[in-house]
Amino acid sequence: MRKLAIALVAALLVTLGSRPAEARCGQHCPPWLDAIGYTFAAGLVGGYAYGTGYFIYRDATDDQQSLDYAASEIGFNLLMGSIFSIGTVDAIQHGNIGQTAALGALTLAHGALVGHGVWRVYDHRSELRPEPQTVARFAGLAYATNAVLWAAQLPGRHGRGYGIAEAAVNAPLAAGLGYFAADRARGGATREAALLGSMAAISGALALHGAYTAIFQQRRTEEKIDFGLDLGLGAEVAPTVVTDGKEVAPGLGASGTW
């Protein structure tokens, strides 16, 4: 029951953090709706404090922590640490020193708790006997998440760094899945070979897209000439056609403020 409560608090925090600030109705909200909102927010904060405090207290006072406890500690704190790390990056980008310090401290705290959970898992490694089907399901979920994340960004324009990252992540996956597909085919497992082969093809296509992007990424060719006399102003110059009303000739056109 306690783990379920912690999981619910984590899910609610994710949902609350993903809602834009504009969704608040402010002074137009009736008092009863404000009361519900504040009560809900207080419950989230209290649940978060309870969940985090629970793991800190157990880590400090209990030396006999089970493998199940370690897995719960990793899951909760990895989720919370990821949320606060996103907030930290955003605070840094906006130059908010106070938020950066506060969110950064929370990120480090959850990172330390994750590290403690990983150490406990290693300490109980002799008890790890996962079923093959469970391992396969987790591996399939991780692969599907990776493929969807990269595929969702295909329509956008990307630079060389993105292409290198895409190829570096998906090329090893394509090679490994291709090997396993060939091995299953030799063993007569046709269905598994077809599934692994399809996964290898998807990763291979993503790796090729990354390589193509890294090599043939589009460069912006616009050139800007400063007409502002070092006042921070400028104009864009582009080829155009000029005329005096009788004759037409090629020339340059400038637009902007200077």
pLDDT tens, the chain, 258 aa long: 344 444 444 444 544 444 444 444 555 566 766 677 778 778 878 888 888 898 899 888 887 788 888 888 888 888 888 888 888 888 887 888 888 898 889 999 999 999 998 888 888 887 777 677 767 777 887 888 888 888 888 887 778 888 888 888 899 999 999 999 998 898 888 888 999 999 999 999 999 998 998 888 654 434 444 444 444 445 555 555 566 656 555 565 666 555
Residue 170 neighbours by CB under 8 Å, 6+ apart: 146, 150, 203, 204, 206, 207, 210
Question: What is the rounded distance in angstroms from the CA atom of residue 213 to the CA atom of residue 210?
Answer: 5
The CA radius of gyration of the chain, in Å to the nearest whole number, is 27
**pTM greater than the 0.75 cutoff:** no
